[in-house]
Amino acid sequence: MSEEIKKIKVNGVTLAYREIGRGDKYLISTQTFFLTDCHMALLGREPYDYHVFLIYMRGYGESDHIFDSRPHDYTKIWGEDVIAFAQAMGIESFYYSGVSHGNWAGWYIAFHRPELLRGFFCCDGIAQFRRDEEQGVKAMQHDEEEIEELVGNRGKLEKMAWMEQWPTNNPQRLARREKNHLEHLEILASRRKEEFLVKNSSMTACEAQTEEEFYERLSQIPVPVMIWNGVLDPLARVEDCLKIAKTIPGAHLLTYQHLGHGGADECPEIAARDCDRFFSDTKGRIL
């Protein structure tokens, strides 16, 4: 990704970001990393010409790091960072899109500050209610001893790097898989110990205490939302995507039978096209 990294101080921390494009058709995303030519970056270029800001989440990359390895509701923190970023940049409203974990801030803003969102294009990941959420997050994380062996160990990191294994003979998809895998491996190889120890304890983005409350909160979202997902995604299952899309007023659901959890990064040209079409349609949406 050729756009230079810039930095800004908001919410008491320094956030690193890349800026692509110009004008007032703003699109913001925040993630732990961005692959070259991800769909958000493509939207900042011709023929789409959005004014895109790609913010590296606090805790990662050149943004300020987090040295507290206890679980916290980072969904709220990352969402508030985006809100503060937009305010600091003089952006009154914006589109949001992310891939997988990059959707958490979008969900948080849709629940808590919906007036800021012109539209939310959610790729390969949804807000989810988990009764044993915190334990589940802990189980998915490595302990500090494991991290010591992991940091800088390319052999171990290669098994963690971006990878899709769904059947395809398409040479473009196969080439992109290899490219994404190698790029993500380099990103992981450059990470410091503390970057592997950030534990996010929330996937609901709205502090719901019960599943019923979670879906009630979803039913009150006034933002135009599209859920874009691969049918083969084992993490954001298509059944759960459908249930959420049925709950949010006016929501759209677009699924691709041949894609999995990394579909938007494997086929960013398709995601960018669909994202632009959806955002264009939101201008005259009818509920």
DSSP-derived pairing of the beta strands 117-123 and 26-31: unpaired
- Residues 46, 70 contacting (CB under 8 angstroms): no
Asked if residue 102 is part of any domain, the answer here is yes
- Count of domains forming the chain: 1
Residue 135's pLDDT is 43
Asked if residue 177 is part of any domain, the answer here is no
Residue type, 114: P
Mean pLDDT over residues 230-259, rounded? 96
Asked if residue 129 is part of any domain, the answer here is yes
Mean pLDDT over residues 259-279, rounded? 96
What's this model's pTM, rounded to 2 decimal places? 0.94
Mean pLDDT over residues 93-122, rounded? 98
Asked if residue 70 is part of any domain, the answer here is yes
Asked if residue 15 is part of any domain, the answer here is yes
Predicted confidence band at 142 (pLDDT cuts at 50, 70, 90)?
A: low
Mean pLDDT over residues 185-196, rounded? 96
Mean pLDDT of the chain, nearest integer = 93
- The residue assigned the tokens 């007032």 is 24
Asked if residue 195 is part of any domain, the answer here is no
Residue 166's pLDDT is 87
Residue 27's pLDDT is 98
Asked if residue 189 is part of any domain, the answer here is no
Length reported for the chain: 287
Mean pLDDT over residues 116-129, rounded? 96
Mean pLDDT over residues 66-88, rounded? 96
139 has a pLDDT exceeding 50: no
112 has a pLDDT exceeding 70: yes
- 43 φ, ψ to 5°? -70, -15
201 has a pLDDT exceeding 80: yes
Q: 213: domain range?
A: 5-138+200-282
Nearest-angstrom CA–CA distance, 27 and 36: 17
Residue 287's pLDDT is 75
Residue 136's pLDDT is 44
CATH of residue 260's domain is 3.40.50.1820
